[in-house]
Chain A
Amino acid sequence: MFKSIKFVRVLREGWLSFYRDKWLTVATISIMTLTLFLIGTTIFLWIGIQKTVKEVEKQINISIYFDFDVEEGRIKAIKTRLEKKGLQEIKKIVYISKEEALEQFKEEEKDDENMKKALEIIGENPFPASLMITASDTSHYDKIDYFFEQEYGDIVLSSNYKKNKNVITDIKNRIIFLQKATFFLSIVFFMVAIFVTFNAVSMSIYTHRKEFEIMRLVGASNLYVKMPVVVEGVLYGLTSSFIAIILLVVTIYSVDPLAQRTLENVQIFDFYKESIFMMTVSIVGISVILGSVSSYIAIRRYLEK
């Protein structure tokens, strides 16, 4: 039974060990801070890419155009049906009437005199009513297009899916590549982080190896020797994560104006503020786990006798 009195002593021993050897503590924390900064940057990149992907996906949609003689009421009924108990793959449907389509065209082409003249020559509204559909995932457009072909083939004039299919597929592939690349990069950085932290903590423990022998000789149980070292590892983790977060904030804040200039108004500092909770929790969590687990593993070899 590990009594509460021992728990307090373990915390005190851990703190003493962390505090007493200042140079060693500074060296270990410096290494861990750099590693965590690297991890923080990766997490930031990961969250950024996920968010950008979502933004891009939001902007992808297809339009299903209906025959000119199909009444507005019928198209709206299809919309309502699909919204209530339709395809799960559909995230959003917007009805665009013939008039709205014409207005949109005029707005988009307001500077093009040829287009204006062409509309005057035609004399009537050449745009059909349509449903603009956003899918819950870019891979679902094929299924949605097929669904309209099968269910409403008799009233559907056309869809722009086939025309846009290559663009959508291209965007989808780029997204997948970006996600895979970030994931791979994260794994590499995490491996480096684990390796570097473990070695830094091991070095720190190595310098105190004789103390562990003395502790055991006076009757300290393995747990009593181990736990202060784990507490020390947690303190390394907390301190270095605190410094790493400050470094990260300063870096992002400094890079923000440059990003705004080069990436068309992308405000990465605002973006950091949005994900600050997740970033902080991730960095602190990772650092505490890295520090404590590394310490726990590194000390085991000194407790074999």
Chain B
Amino acid sequence: MKLIELRDVGKSYEGGFTILKNINLSIDAGEFISIVGSSGAGKSTLLKMIYAYEEPTEGVVFFGKRDISTIKKKSLPFYRRNFGTVFQDAKLLEYKTIFENVAYTLEVQGAGDEQIKKEVPKLLEIVGLSNQSEKYPAQVSGGEAQRASLARALIHRPRVLIADEPTGNLDPNSTWEMTKLLLKINELGTTIILATHDEEVVNNIYKRVIVIGNSTIISDKIRGKYSTQ
């Protein structure tokens, strides 16, 4: 079932700089997609257009059957609840504990205290952070912060997980752990869109790979590998 579709999408900035053009892409529910390309290729911009943080200057992005450009600004936060997002920098709220950071997503969506108390510890256990739940982001390692960020992205059971260079700041062990977690989450039915330039991660996953180069899609393989050579 088609979940996301980009039709002839392009993005240019003032001054005529084009970062993406003629992007045609269809993503089915439950897929695991790796979007690869060198730094500055436009991977993050592509993701931002999907979760409506940037507007395309050309073409249309559909979520389900809905053209997302028709969503009113004040309704965008509700649209974004379809997504969980993980970034290279974990983007945790510094003044909240790991538990509170994860709980925050549920809080803003109006979940009750009981639900929060029940679900957050479960997920923290899955990502291996049960013992770190009362620590603040500054008191945990980069890998742990990233796993906390992943837990926060998943706590509300989003339909799509968007991971933008989630392993960019991690050591090889943490990178491997994060990769395994992403695969496990995908097995449970969540669609995953991963943007990375880490060929080892992509090749270990061995699922659909979309390569971006020269501002457009230059390759789209169902079971792809990626080489920077």
Contacts and interface: CB of A to CB of B under 8 A. Distances in A.
Interface of A: 3, 5-6, 9, 16-17, 20-21, 210-211, 213-222, 224, 304-305
The 7 closest A-B pairs by CB, nearest first: A220-B108, A219-B81, A218-B105, A20-B95, A221-B77, A214-B91, A219-B80
A5 B74 contact: no
Contacts of A224: 77, 108
B104 interface: yes
B93 interface: yes
A219 B74 contact: no
Contact of A5 (B80, B85, B110): B110
A211 B156 CA distance: 19
Contact of B93 (A21, A211, A216): A211
A218 B112 contact: no
Given A220-B77, A221-B77, A215 B108 contact: yes
Contact of B91 (A9, A217, A221): A217
Contacts of B57: none
Nearest to A211: B93
Nearest to B89: A210
A20 B136 CA distance: 13
B107 to A, nearest CB: 5
Given A5-B112, A220-B77, A304-B73, 11 more contacts: A213-B91, A215-B108, A217-B53, A217-B85, A218-B108, A218-B152, A219-B77, A219-B78, A220-B104, A222-B74, A224-B77
A221 B112 contact: no
A217 B81 CA distance: 8
A12 to B, nearest CB: 9
Contacts, number: 55
B104 A6 contact: no
Nearest to A223: B74
Contacts of B105: 218-219
Query: Which of A5, A6, A221 has the most chain B CB atoms closer than 10 A to its own CB?
Result: A221
Interface string B58-85: 0000000000000001100110110001
B195 to A, nearest CB: 15
A305 B51 CA distance: 11
From B78, B81, B95, B156, residue with most partner A Cβ within 10 Å: B95
A219 B93 contact: no
A217 B108 contact: no
Contacts of B153: 218
Given A16-B95, A214-B93, A219 B156 contact: yes
DSSP majority for the A interface?
helix
B86 to A, nearest CB: 10
Contacts of B108: 215, 218-221, 224
Interface in B91-109: 91-95, 104-105, 107-109
A6 B110 contact: yes
Contact of B53 (A210, A215, A222, A305): A305
A3 B93 CA distance: 24
21 contacts: A5-B110, A6-B110, A16-B95, A21-B95, A215-B93, A215-B104, A217-B53, A217-B85, A217-B91, A218-B80, A218-B108, A218-B152, A219-B77, A219-B108, A219-B109, A220-B77, A221-B74, A221-B78, A222-B74, A222-B77, A304-B73
Nearest to B77: A221
B51 to A, nearest CB: 8
A214 B148 CA distance: 14
Contact of B80 (A6, A16, A211, A217): A217
Interface in B106-122: 107-110, 112-113
Contacts of A304: 73
Contact of B107 (A9, A222, A305): A9
Contacts of A21: 95
Contacts of B107: 6, 9
Q: Tell which of A21, A213, A218 has the most Cβ of chain B within 10 Å.
A: A218
A162 B92 CA distance: 81
B91 A216 contact: no
Contacts of B113: 5
Contacts of B104: 215, 218, 220
Contacts of B94: 211
Nearest to B104: A218
